[in-house]
Amino acid sequence: MNETINLMKSHSSVRRFKDERISEPDLQAIIEAGSAASSWKNFQSYSIIVVRSSEKKQSLYDLVPQPAVLQADTILVFVGDHNRASKAAQLHQADFDAKGTENLLISSVDAALAGQNAMLAAESLGYGGVFIGMIRHSALAVAELFALPDYTYPIFCIALGVPNQHFPVKPRLRLDAFVFQEEYKEQTVETIVAHDAVQTEYAGARQTELWSERLVNQFKQEEQPETKALLEKHKLL
């Protein structure tokens, strides 16, 4: 196809890293590529906190005990951010109310686009990484750790470094299970059965439960309370 599409299609999350650094110019390029993503009305309703010190990584690991957090050279913490908008309101002596689902979607989508751009840029330079959404399970403590003010909330982080593992690309759903022509086409259980078989073949001996069982378990869980508590505390809900 072309180099860009080949890079995108060869993505695979990396959770183990060599003890090697990402150079400063590379990190700068990764972050600038992230910020080149589109954003709602060009507001860039997110911020990125760059974590490189062992102390901060250890503190984050204490809250989110995933080995990638400790091993990564750099953690980029993506924060949904309407705090700057509050300063615009201050400038124009306007009332400010950031509460609501639409504002959360705006900032979460902006952050996700920037994050994916950054990930691809990192991969193009030979680095690897993984998104870590589990930071939201400790949203209150994570917000404290990074001194997040009102109107901001942690969404995900990306652990980045020089890969010490390489997995083959994980299979995706067949296109006709999620790409529809002209109108939505609700799927049947057969789609799920077929994708279970694909995922089982990919995972081989590593598989402990079916793909569909993991889905069921996700939706069986009570909603974790931290995100809502933090959003309320930071005047976003």
User: Where on the chain is the footprint of ligand FMN (CB under 6 A)?
Assistant: 11-13, 15, 66, 130-134, 156, 170
**Rounded to the nearest whole angstrom, what is the least distance from the CB of residue 95 to ligand FMN in the complex?**
33
Residue number closest to ligand FMN, CB atom? 133
Residue 47's DSSP bridge partners are: 79
Q: At closest approach, how far in Å is the CB of 153 from ligand FMN?
A: 14
**Beta carbon nearer to ligand FMN, 23 or 165:** 165
| CB 184 to ligand FMN: min, Å | 23
Contact of 139 with 234, CB cutoff 8 Å = no
* Cα–Cα distance, 118 to 101 (Å, whole number): 26
Q: Which CB sits closer to ligand FMN, 146 or 156? A: 156
**Shortest Å, Cβ 15 to ligand FMN:** 6
Cross-sheet strand order for the sheet of 74-81: 46-51, 74-81, 152-161, 128-132
Please give the sequence-ordered ranges of beta strands (E in DSSP) within 26-136, or none if there are none. Answer: 46-51, 74-81, 128-132
Q: Considering beta carbons, is residue 61 or 131 the nearer one to ligand FMN?
A: 131
Between 67 and 149, name the residue whose CB sits nearer to ligand FMN. Answer: 67
Rounded least distance, CB 134 to ligand FMN, Å: 4
CB of 133 to ligand FMN, least distance (A): 3
Q: Are 161 and 17 in contact (CB under 8 A)?
A: yes
| Closest to ligand FMN by CB, 188 or 221 | 221
Q: Which is nearer to ligand FMN, 54 or 165 (CB)?
A: 165
Residue 146 phi, psi (nearest 5): -105, 15
Tokens of 210: 């079916």
Q: Is the Cβ–Cβ distance between 175 and 87 less than 8 Å?
A: no
Phi-psi region of 77 (alpha: psi -120 to 50; beta: other; left: phi over 0): beta
Please choose, from the candidates 161, 187, 163, the residue with its C-alpha nearest in 3D space to the C-alpha of residue 176: 187
